[in-house]
Amino acid sequence: MSNGNVFWTSPAWFIPVALMASFTLIEGIHVSQHSKYCKTEAQWMNDKGMEYDRESSVD
């Protein structure tokens, strides 16, 4: 076995790359579906019975 094959079969790089690829896929799906499934601050406050005031919100 040559040194090149050790690199490609080593879990030392495969596991982090697989984790980052999974994270990127999940975040991509989240961003593409964000407006459909995620609430705005105003919607959260309305659910709690509070009044949303844009002027008091600090970004």
Q: How far apart are CA 38 and CA 33, in angstroms?
A: 8
Supply the pLDDT for residue 4: 61
DSSP codes, the chain: --HHHHHHH-HHHHHHHHHHHHHHHHHHHHHHTHHHH---HHHHHHHTTPPP-GGG---
Q: How far apart are CA 30 and CA 12, in angstroms?
A: 28
pTM assigned to the model: 0.54
**Tens-digit pLDDT profile for residues 1-58:** 456 666 667 778 888 999 999 999 999 999 998 888 787 777 777 777 776 666 555 5
